[in-house]
Structure 1
Amino acid sequence: MRALLLAAGLGSRLRPITNHLPKCLVPIAGKPLLQHWLDALLAAGSERVLVNTHYLSELVVGFLAGYGEGGKVEIVHEPRLFGTGGTVAANAGFFQGEAGLVLHADNLSDLSLPGMMRAHAGRPPRCAMTMATFDTDQPGSSGIVECDDEDVVTAFHEKVPDPPGIRANAAVYIFEPEVISTCKALFAKETLDLSTEVIPLYLGRILAHHHPGYHRDIGSPASLRRANADFGAPHSPCATLYSK
Structure 2
Amino acid sequence: MKAMILAAGLGTRMRPLTDHCPKPLLPVAGKPLIVHHLERLAAAGIRDIVVNVSYRAQQIIDALGNGERFGVSLTFSVEETPLETAGGLRQALPELGDAPFVLINGDVWTDFPLAQLTLTAGDLASLVMADTTDFHRRGDFHLDARGRLHAEGEPRLIYAGLGVIHPRLIADLPAGAIAKLAPLLVDAMQAGRVGGWHHRGDWVDVGTPARLAELDARLRS
Match of residue 149, structure 2, among 153, 177, 185 = 153
Gaps of 5+ in 1: 158-163, 234-244
* 2:108 aligned residue: 107
One-letter amino acid of the counterpart of residue 157, structure 2? R
Range moving further from structure 2, 42-51 or 32-41: 42-51
Give runs of aligned pairs for residues 53-64 of structure 1, distance below 5 A.
Answer: 53-64=53-64
Runs of 4+ off more than 6 Å: none
* 1:209 aligned residue: 197
CA distance in 2, matches of 1:155, 1:46: 30
Secondary structure (helix, strand or coil) at the match of 2:117 reads helix
Range moving further from structure 2, 207-216 or 59-68: 59-68
CA distance in 2, matches of 1:142, 1:86: 26
CA deviation after TM superposition for structure 1 residue 147, in Å = 2.1
| Superimposed CA distance per residue, residues 69-111 of structure 1 (whole angstroms, 9 cap, x where no aligned partner) | 4771111211111110001111112222111111111101111
Secondary structure (helix, strand or coil) at the match of 1:174 reads strand
CA distance in 1, matches of 2:167, 2:4: 14
One-letter amino acid of the counterpart of residue 59, structure 1? Q
Give runs of aligned pairs for residues 39-54 of structure 1, distance below 5 A.
Answer: 39-54=39-54
* 1:169 aligned residue: 159
One-letter amino acid of the counterpart of residue 43, structure 2? A
CA distance in 2, matches of 1:21, 1:147: 36
CA distance in 2, matches of 1:156, 1:232: 39
Gaps of 5+ in 2: none
CA distance in 2, matches of 1:36, 1:110: 11
Aligned length: 218
Give the RMSD, CA atoms, in angstroms.
2.2
Q: Does 1:136 align with 2:132?
A: yes
* 1:21 aligned residue: 21
Contact 2:129–2:159 (CA under 8 A) maintained in structure 1: yes
Q: TM-score, normalised by structure 2?
A: 0.89
CA distance in 2, matches of 1:230, 1:9: 25
Q: Does 1:88 align with 2:92?
A: no
Identity of aligned residues (%): 28
Q: 1:59 to 1:188 in 2, by over 3 A?
A: closer
One-letter amino acid of the counterpart of residue 147, structure 1? L
CA distance in 2, matches of 1:71, 1:115: 19
CA deviation after TM superposition for structure 1 residue 67, in Å = 4.3
Contact 2:42–2:72 (CA under 8 A) maintained in structure 1: no
Contact 2:125–2:166 (CA under 8 A) maintained in structure 1: yes
Structure that is richer in helix per residue: 1
Q: TM-score, normalised by structure 1?
A: 0.82
